[in-house]
Structure formats: C-alpha cells, structure tokens
Amino acid sequence: MTKDLLGRHRDVLPDWLALYYEDPLELTHGEGRHVWDAQGTKYLDFFGGILTTMTAHALPEVTKAISEQAGRIIHSSTLYLNRPMVELAERVAQLSGIPDARVFFTTSGTEANDTALLLATAYRRSNTILAMRNSYHGRSFSSVGITGNRGWSPTSLSPLQTVYVHGGVRTRGPFAAMDDDGYIAACVDDLTDLLGHTRPPAALIAEPVQGVGGFTSPPDGLYAAFREVLSERGILWISDEVQTGWGRTGDHFWGWQAHDRNGPPDILTFAKGIGNGMSIGGVVARADIMNCLDSNSISTFGGTQVTMAAGLANLTYLLEHDLQGNARRVGGLLIERLRAVAARVPHVREVRGRGLMIGVELTRPGTDRADPDAASAVLEAARARGLLIGKGGGHDTSALRIAPPLSLTVAEAEEGAALLEDALRSLDQ
C-alpha cells in the first residue's frame, strides 16, 4: 500500500517536495512519544514532525479542546470577534516579554516571518535586511530571500536587499578559533564595518539556534552585543523563535533570553510547537511597530477558532507540567549521553545544542569535511532500529537533528540514545 501511495504522490506532487528515506514512510497514528507506520511498525519519535508535535502525540487535553471547539464553530476569519484568539494572544503577549505587545496570528512560521519583514520594512522605510549566514526562515518568496542556507534557497531573486552577517555558527568560519569573548568582539566589529558600506537596514532577523542549519548557535550574548550596535542606528531586531520557542532549549522559554542583557527583541516570530500539530504561527511586536501599517488587512485562516483552542490547551499543559524544566533535565542527560557516544565514533565532529534541541554533526573521519552520505546512512539505520530523527546543516546536510516532544522521559531518552549509538556505529561496518 505504501508503494502505491508513493507512486500516487509522485504523480501529483512536485519533484522538489522532499521525502525522507529510500523507502518513504507513511505514519498513521501516534501516542505520547511514539508513532506507527502503515505496516504497524512502532517508532520512537525524536523529530516530532519537524519540532511541531512539541508536547506529545494525541495529547488528550489538546484533542479534547479541538473536538469541543469543532462542535461549536471551526472558523469565522478575523472579520469577527474571536474569543479563543484574544485569549491566546493575551497569554502570548504576556509571555513574550515585549512591552505593550500586539500579536498577529498566521498559519505557519514562513507566514509569520513574512509578516515580520513587512512590519520592519514599512516601519523603517527600508528594504535592506540583515540576516545570518546558515539561516533558514521559510519557503515563501520573501523568506527565501533572507535565507542564508544554499540548500534551501531555490532562487536569488528577492524583493529585499539582504546582507549576511557572521556569527551563527560557533565552530566554523573565520572566527572559530577565538574564545567566546573574542568571537563576539570580532562579529560585532564585522557588523559595524558592514553597516558603513550599506544603506540603513530595516532589521536584523536571526534564529537564536539555527534550526535547519543543524542546531548551530553563537555564544550566549552575541545578539545582545549586536543589539547595542543596531539600536544606535534605529535598526530593529527580529528574533525568529519558530523552532526555539516555548521552552525547547530548556534554559529559557525563548531563545532570545540567552542574549537578554538589552531586553526582548523588537519583533518575535513563533510557530510549530504552540499548536502541537495544528497550523499556528504568529508575530509579536511593540504596538508602534505592529500598528505602523496604513492599510486594511485581515487573515482568513490565521487565528481560526479550532487552532486557537488547540494552542490554548497545549500552552496550558506545557506550563502546568513544566515541560521547559523537563527539556532542561532530560535534554541535558541526552546531550551528555550522546557526547559520550561521539567520543567513540570517528565520524562525529560535534554534539551541540541545549535542552531537547540537539545536533550531531558528521564529517569524514579525521577531517572537517562534511559527510552528507553518512548523515543519510545514519537516518536510514536509525529508522531500521525504530528511531525517527531529522537532518540538516549548512554544510551539505551533514548534521543529525534530534528534537523529541518535550514530555520525553528519562527512559525514552536512554532508549533513543542507545538506538542512535547503534546507528552511528553502523557507519564503521
């Protein structure tokens, strides 16, 4: 049946719509941290639909909220008052840390970043955007135009003038050999020099931890140091929290809080995990920025009642069960376990990340040369052992991406680490 479905998929869907695995997988149902395929095979899910099933599969509180709301009304558009949307916006505004915050809901992270770019360029009357090398911000025309990852950038055409900044990848590039203080100082000096050669930008957009880029990040404090340079010139900071938000990094609720000596960003974007699988994205900004648009606008599907009900239930569960704390505790154990494994596997260059957002970068043994074939082989080997993981990276997709639901138990973390160790060791066979 899966082979028949694959043929049908290829007949009607684009060739560029990527599928994992040589024999692609059809997932039919899930529960907790596990999913099952069409043949009944059970897998431990360490990727959560690209960090989207944030809490758990089939979480009763979320499925109940969806069912109850669907029985009342599913959708009305933003032309009508919408109680669940207002209630979720109130909670997100408060949690964002942004003063006098306004919230606009979208259906995806791509659309959230589009909106942030619209706001920043309109507010600043500039179409120049600073973005980070190795970044990823979505698949729309404008978000592709600011994506600094060659593997996810299908066109160089863009409505924006984008200038790429150093600093998102700590262990590669011209400043990698420096200590953290030296690294930050060099990146700030480079940014300052760059601003002397370009028209005044609207904003810097940055992921505190680069998701598709392989879970890379700068030293804590880099974006605060950038902010000092940007603020002197009135340039906005957009923090792309599509993958880092809601406590996934364990240490912080938002990724920007690792760089917080100058307070929250001007604009924050979010998506993925807040809906636990439902299509929710959004933008938070100060009122003067959010309200700078001088024409009417609506959203047909952003903030629709059934997705807002899911988001409210999911956020409530996450906070009441301290899943951020669980990500810190269980993620810390998992990272240490994987680092111990990596010490015995020559292909592993680095295990990095924080909380339940972990990257394992693979290279050809004894070199710094990326090994995308090894990453693909481990992806397949992990699946064969009952573990689903992701992959990414700016150097030819050579990093494994590990991001389980935040309710992961210690026993499941140990099980997943053992399965991944076995998959990694298969590279030497």
Along the 429 residues of the chain, how does pLDDT read in single tens digits? Answer: 677 999 999 999 999 999 999 999 999 999 999 999 999 999 999 999 999 999 999 999 999 999 999 999 999 999 999 999 999 999 999 999 999 999 999 999 999 999 999 999 999 999 999 999 999 999 999 999 999 898 888 888 899 999 999 999 999 999 999 999 999 999 999 999 999 999 999 999 999 999 999 999 999 999 999 999 999 999 999 999 999 999 999 999 999 999 977 799 999 999 999 999 999 999 999 999 999 999 999 999 999 999 999 999 999 999 999 999 999 999 999 999 999 999 999 999 999 999 999 999 999 999 999 999 999 999 999 999 999 999 999 867 899 999 999 999 999 999 999 999 999 999 987
Of 369, 332, 339, 333, the C-alpha closest to 354 is 332
Over residues 2-55, the pLDDT tens digits come to: 779 999 999 999 999 999 999 999 999 999 999 999 999 999 999 999 999 999
What stretch(es) of the chain map to CATH 3.40.640.10?
A: 64-320
**Matching residue, tokens 């395929």:** 37
Q: Name the architecture of domain 64-320.
A: 3-Layer(aba) Sandwich (3.40)
Contacts of 278 (CB under 8 A, 6+ apart): 62, 66, 306, 307, 310, 311
Beta-strand pair 281-286/161-165: unpaired
The CATH number fitting domain 2-58+322-428, selected from 3.30.930.10, 3.90.1150.10, 3.40.1180.10, 3.30.413.10: 3.90.1150.10
What stretch(es) of the chain map to CATH 3.90.1150.10?
A: 2-58+322-428
- Using a pLDDT cut of 70, give the percent of the chain over it: 100
Q: Determine the pLDDT at residue 395.
A: 67
93 and 84 Cβ atoms separated by less than 8 Å: no
What's the rounded Cα separation, in Å, for the pair 164 and 148? 7
The DSSP bridge partners found for residue 131 are: 164, 205
Over residues 228-253, the pLDDT tens digits come to: 999 999 999 999 999 999 999 999 99
Q: Which long-range contacts (CB under 8 A, 24 or more apart) does 412-417 make?
A: 412/33, 412/44, 413/330, 413/333, 413/334, 413/337, 414/333, 414/337, 415/44, 416/44, 416/46, 416/334, 416/387, 417/334, 417/337, 417/338, 417/341
DSSP helix/strand/coil, 94: helix
What's the rounded Cα separation, in Å, for the pair 130 and 201? 7
Contacts of 8 (CB under 8 A, 6+ apart): none
Over residues 203-221, the pLDDT tens digits come to: 999 999 999 999 999 999 9
Contacts of 421 (CB under 8 A, 6+ apart): 341, 345
DSSP helix/strand/coil, 214: coil
399 and 376 Cβ atoms separated by less than 8 Å: no
